[in-house]
Structure 1
Amino acid sequence: MKSAFRQTYRQVLRWGNPTVEASLNENTKKVIQDYTGIPALEVTLPTFLPGEKEVKVEKEINLLPSYVKTFTEIVGAENIGTSDFERAQHSAGKNYGELVSLRKGIVHYPPDIIVSPNDHQQLEKIIQKCQEWKLTVIPHGLRSSMSKNIGFNNGGIAIDINKHLNKVVSIDEESLTVTAQAGISGPELENYLNKRGYTCGHFPQSFEFSTLGGWVSSNGVGLGSTGYGTIKDIVLGLKVVTPTGTYSNEIYPKTSQGYDVMSLFIGAEGTLGVISEVTISIRKYEQKHSKSTSIIFKNFEDGCLAMRNCIQGGFGKPHFFRLSDSEETEIDFRINGYNGSFSDRAIKTLGYKTNERCIMHVSVDGDEDYTSFVINKIKSVSAQSGGRNLGNKFAKKWLETRFSSAYMRDPLMDLGLITDILETSVTWKDLGQLWKSVKTYIKAKPNTICMANISHVYENGVNLYFSVITPTDKVSPREDYEHFHKGFIGTILKNKGALSHHYGIGRALAPWLKNKIGDQSYHLMESIKKEIDPNNIMNPGSLFIQ
């Protein structure tokens, strides 16, 4: 079937809504120009590697016609994708290196065909045949992964769970659970729940273009995790089709029944099976009771101390809790036109200086008495560390735009800029040193923006999130990125950070995994993989080096 849009590489690599061509506002252009040294940002400048050529996949379909015929009989001809555009779509996620290749018109690792099962039973038949024929299988949701979780080195089957397996199965309002098919998107699930007075509580930045199954497979964490928990905290049940059979479990709040087998599939990144159904806990939700505010601090250290005292204070947790470092704060202020305003000048006279001050955003959901109590306690505790309350203007703005910033990646890459993102889990004790060391490494690269923030907060530590924008070597952009990225990861690990807090490992971080978790743990993972997937057909190369 022909796409309604031009079938170009740009349509494959573009973030989000395919009808939206993102652009930079004038304030953002000025920030990029000042920080990166790009001499001019007029829209008339040629786009760097625009990716406007029509998609052409050089690797031919290498499946026996009898195999294609069998899959067609299982799902129907309308659910078999074989076009160059469809194969390119299912060849990559949203890792920077993958995007550079697509911009250059290169499709490295396409599937042979895309198969879209209509139901769980069809999915079982597909996996059985792939096991019998030893065909590579990679489950696909909306392909927003940043960790190179997709790639068919030798061809294989892409299983699209989003096309049909995208419905709510049931809701239990007495027990506060919902069961849905794994291909349902974030907005579809949340809209269903909101209409009934509930929320899923899971809001990754990819929320609009990711699926419930993808959240589980990557062991994802949403922006509201401080209050709602991670996906691992809210998953109660799974149904997973593997090469050796289907695994599922009964729903209980908690159990002690031997090994927690179902947890193996949370964070497995498609290497053990295909998730077809998920049951999660849900929360009651009335938006009118939510409270939010922003608090400014004189430096990052003061903000971190306030944040730690709040989360360890025992008085309740905010749901969205974020602290930007000074560079991110200043860029945010400049882009939103705050710098130079009357309020800005007033704040500066009180000692909150440019390039030192840091802003915290807070939002609390729940019962009206609870939200009022917690937000007021956070204001009070923050004041003890020099925090000054700015009201809810900035927090509301951030909440309104929390999913849209990802759209900026395309126009930034158009300018020949590397846009890299890494995140890491770190204890409070090691937070300061890790932040300073990573910033030092990144800023050593000339004309580089490095924005950092704490985006997920726990009693024992935080997730520290780094966003980098820096000019690329236009002759060898991918090689330039990979060299820089390698040093980025090495600096995080050297300073006691985790390989990942919520993006997962994929192929991007697989080379570091064994050394990070140790031989025994890695060998145990390999043994589990071999037991459940003896022919290594499930997403080979992700997590484990091939």
Structure 2
Amino acid sequence: MGFVPKWVEQVAPPDSYRAIFKWGDPSFFKHPNERLYALLKKALNLMDEDFLQPVDLGFEKVEVNIPIKLSKNQLEKLKQIVGEENVKTDDFSRVKASYGKTAYDILRLRKKIIENLPDAVVYPRNERDVVELVKYCNEEKIPIYPRGGGSTVTRGTECVKGGICVDFTKHMNKIISVNEVNHTVTVEPGIYGPELEEKLNNAPKYFGTKHRYTCGHLPQSFEYSTVGGWVVTRGAGQNSTYYGKIEDLVVCQKYITPIGEIVTKPYPRAALGPSIDQIFIGSEGAYGLLVSVTLKIFRYMPENDQRFSFIFPSFEKALNACREIMQGQFGFPAVMRLSDPEETDVAMKLYGVEGTIIDKLIRMKGYKPMERCLLLGLAQGEKDFAKNIKRKIMKIAKDFGGMYTTGYVTKAWEKGRFTDPYIRDDLMDFGIVIDTLECAVAWDQVEYVWKTVRSFCKQRPNTIVMSHCSHFYPQGTNLYFIFVGKFKDIQEFVEYQSGIIDSIVKSGAALSHHHGIGKLFAPWFEECIGTNQLNVMKCLKKYFDPNNIMNPGGTLGLDLEVKK
């Protein structure tokens, strides 16, 4: 065994900066394997010596000197509403409330650049508390910033105007009811993905149902994100190709706004004018606070899962195969993930395929590195349905030059699907930044957008740029762009990231498929959707929130003060 970098495996003190920016479980670590480490050194022009001393680890105690602007009387009133134990004003709570998980957040935390903090973090116990909080804050013109799991990558919960952060995860985290007749579950916004899924998977035990169920919504942030966050950002799970994005799963909702309650009803479909549900899904806390939501559920039958993977000779052929799969009208797989040539090269290392019999066979068949593309996937549902999906996909893949590489690759991906983000901590400990941007495109745009954005990204030397599609429709797909590189400072990173976003928007792609807009992407929002469309949202904002207390400071570009 050769050189091994000094990967950090020290559990961060609970009051430290690292406790805020580290991904997930404080005691869990996942390091790059030898093949991935070798690739990083080669692509980024680094040596073993560059991995001797980690930097900016953030083990220091969080201490800031940002005064609280709320008056003593205002803080006392907040304590009267939710209980004294549910109002926090310590430095750690305030910093944690405002920072998410985008690279810009983590870079600032590592450098102790602390800004835009709430004056207090408030944990409502129930809907009544939320009603009283919104009413009081509207009277006093105190800004309100909602927070769930804190996995935002859009600066979505950053408290630009101070005020209070309303955190739903401490108390409002329960399943309210399961309706087996209607196939729905009603929950509070602060429930985390694993809690919801575990209860649904074991619904006969917990709720006395006849069948086991799933919500079908499993984003990469699944373990550390909440239903409320999924809804208000228009999120998508990795199985969305079959189950749908969150806007397809929401049946009805309840919000508390400065002008009162907004409640929709559990109709399967209705012709009742423009959809209030769709107006609020994706509103990112700018109109009001979500207090409950009813979602569709599906029978949970993992014993019927059908896994598959293929190698294609080119990205073009793989895209055409995916389009035929989605337009074939035989049903959709739950998961499809198509990696471009560069991501395929990384995936073969990350998932342990490189060097195996499968890898040797692929090379023998003439599928060339940095040209070949990996497609992996999973069909779910009723047994014969899932088998038929796989059978049809096998035929289509063969027609487009795909070679079947078994379900092994998909199993390897499933094993790491929720833990791969832990690798980012290791890389950033040595000054290597990894970040992700994503967009949505129609089929006739995909290759153009991919080539255009990738061309910009590759202008920067010594940078890994990977792409994949992972949410598919008969009309198009999404595109991820993941970049890995060393940056001399935060400003260089921001300029590079901004250039990629510019390239995405100018190529005609949607600014986001499922991460949302937040404050990070707000400067490009009007260019993406158009002035008239943005003005509609501004009119709604003015009606629901006349004093602009709900997530102010740039969210969705509704009150931008500075142009990019």
TM-score range normalised by the length of the shorter chain: over 0.9
The residue aligned with 2:225 is 210
Change (3 A) 1:80 1:412: same
In 2: Cα distance, 1:256 partner to 1:39 partner? 63
1:161-240 alignment to 2 at 5 Å? 161-196=168-203, 197-240=212-255
Q: Tell me the alpha carbon deviations over residues 473-494 of structure 1, each in whole angstroms, 9 at most, x when there is no partner.
A: 1xxx210111101110111122
The alpha-carbon deviation at position 230 of structure 1 amounts to 0.5
SS of 1:439's equivalent? helix
The residue aligned with 1:542 is 555
Which residue of 18, 21, 25 maps to 1:13? Answer: 21
In 1: Cα distance, 2:30 partner to 2:306 partner? 31
Residue 415 of structure 2 aligns with an amino acid whose one-letter code is E
Q: Is the 8 A contact 2:257 2:545 kept in 1?
A: yes
The residue aligned with 1:59 is 66
In 2: Cα distance, 1:199 partner to 1:377 partner? 25
The residue aligned with 2:4 is none
Residue 20 of structure 1 aligns with an amino acid whose one-letter code is F
**Segment drifting more, 46-55 vs 200-209:** 46-55
**Segment drifting more, 131-140 vs 33-42:** 33-42
Query: Is the counterpart of residue 285 in structure 1 residue 300 in structure 2?
Result: yes
In 2: Cα distance, 1:228 partner to 1:278 partner? 17
Q: Is the 8 A contact 1:135 1:537 kept in 2?
A: yes
The residue aligned with 2:335 is 320
SS of 1:108's equivalent? coil
The alpha-carbon deviation at position 41 of structure 1 amounts to 6.2
Residue 491 of structure 1 aligns with an amino acid whose one-letter code is S
The residue aligned with 1:452 is 467
The residue aligned with 2:322 is 307
SS of 2:462's equivalent? coil
The residue aligned with 1:371 is 386
Q: Is the 8 A contact 1:33 1:41 kept in 2?
A: no
Q: Is the 8 A contact 1:272 1:532 kept in 2?
A: yes
The residue aligned with 1:160 is 167
In 1: Cα distance, 2:527 partner to 2:191 partner? 36
The alpha-carbon deviation at position 416 of structure 1 amounts to 1.0
1:73-472 alignment to 2 at 5 Å? 73-196=80-203, 197-472=212-487
Residue 33 of structure 1 aligns with an amino acid whose one-letter code is K
SS of 1:429's equivalent? helix
The residue aligned with 1:485 is 497
In 1: Cα distance, 2:57 partner to 2:202 partner? 41
Q: Is the 8 A contact 2:12 2:18 kept in 1?
A: no
Q: Is the 8 A contact 2:338 2:469 kept in 1?
A: yes
Residue 544 of structure 2 aligns with an amino acid whose one-letter code is I
In 2: Cα distance, 1:154 partner to 1:233 partner? 33
Q: Is the 8 A contact 1:94 1:145 kept in 2?
A: yes
SS of 1:361's equivalent? strand
In 2: Cα distance, 1:96 partner to 1:469 partner? 11
In 2: Cα distance, 1:78 partner to 1:5 partner? 22
In 2: Cα distance, 1:487 partner to 1:429 partner? 23
Q: Tell me the alpha carbon deviations over residues 133-178 of structure 1, each in whole angstroms, 9 at most, x when there is no partner.
A: 0000001101100001122233100001011000000000011000
The residue aligned with 2:206 is none
**Segment drifting more, 257-266 vs 217-226:** 257-266
In 1: Cα distance, 2:283 partner to 2:257 partner? 12
In 1: Cα distance, 2:325 partner to 2:84 partner? 57
Q: Tell me the alpha carbon deviations over residues 286-338 of structure 1, each in whole angstroms, 9 at most, x when there is no partner.
A: 10011111011111111101000010001110010111111111111123443
Q: Is the 8 A contact 1:31 1:335 kept in 2?
A: no
In 2: Cα distance, 1:495 partner to 1:228 partner? 29
Change (3 A) 1:335 1:261: closer
In 2: Cα distance, 1:525 partner to 1:168 partner? 31
Change (3 A) 1:252 1:526: same
The alpha-carbon deviation at position 22 of structure 1 amounts to 4.2
In 2: Cα distance, 1:400 partner to 1:341 partner? 18
SS of 1:391's equivalent? coil
In 1: Cα distance, 2:357 partner to 2:240 partner? 35
Residue 231 of structure 2 aligns with an amino acid whose one-letter code is V
Q: Is the 8 A contact 1:57 1:87 kept in 2?
A: no
Identity over the aligned pairs, expressed in percent?
Answer: 37
In 1: Cα distance, 2:30 partner to 2:368 partner? 32
The alpha-carbon deviation at position 259 of structure 1 amounts to 2.5
Query: Is the counterpart of residue 40 in structure 1 residue 48 in structure 2?
Result: yes
SS of 1:124's equivalent? helix
Q: Tell me the alpha carbon deviations over residues 378-431 of structure 1, each in whole angstroms, 9 at most, x when there is no partner.
A: 000110000111110001111221111111111111121221211110111011
In 2: Cα distance, 1:123 partner to 1:437 partner? 46
In 1: Cα distance, 2:472 partner to 2:351 partner? 26
Q: Is the 8 A contact 2:30 2:420 kept in 1?
A: no
In 1: Cα distance, 2:299 partner to 2:160 partner? 45
In 2: Cα distance, 1:253 partner to 1:480 partner? 49
SS of 1:53's equivalent? coil
Query: Is the counterpart of residue 505 in structure 1 residue 517 in structure 2?
Result: yes
Change (3 A) 1:362 1:21: closer
Q: Is the 8 A contact 2:351 2:413 kept in 1?
A: no
Q: CA RMSD in A?
A: 1.4
Residue 490 of structure 1 aligns with an amino acid whose one-letter code is D
SS of 2:360's equivalent? helix
In 2: Cα distance, 1:130 partner to 1:198 partner? 39
Residue 246 of structure 1 aligns with an amino acid whose one-letter code is E
Change (3 A) 1:41 1:30: farther
In 1: Cα distance, 2:297 partner to 2:392 partner? 26
Q: Is the 8 A contact 1:422 1:465 kept in 2?
A: yes
Change (3 A) 1:433 1:259: closer
The residue aligned with 2:544 is 532
Q: Is the 8 A contact 1:91 1:107 kept in 2?
A: no
Q: Is the 8 A contact 1:427 1:461 kept in 2?
A: yes
**Segment drifting more, 55-64 vs 308-317:** 55-64
The alpha-carbon deviation at position 48 of structure 1 amounts to 2.7
* Length, aligned pairs only: 540
Change (3 A) 1:537 1:184: same
Q: Is the 8 A contact 1:289 1:368 kept in 2?
A: yes
Q: Is the 8 A contact 1:320 1:364 kept in 2?
A: yes
The alpha-carbon deviation at position 501 of structure 1 amounts to 0.6
The alpha-carbon deviation at position 4 of structure 1 amounts to 9.7
Runs of 5+ unmatched residues, structure 1: none
The residue aligned with 2:7 is none
In 1: Cα distance, 2:419 partner to 2:140 partner? 43
The alpha-carbon deviation at position 339 of structure 1 amounts to 2.4
Change (3 A) 1:436 1:368: same
Query: Is the counterpart of residue 23 in structure 1 residue 36 in structure 2?
Result: no
Q: Is the 8 A contact 2:12 2:26 kept in 1?
A: no
The alpha-carbon deviation at position 70 of structure 1 amounts to 1.0
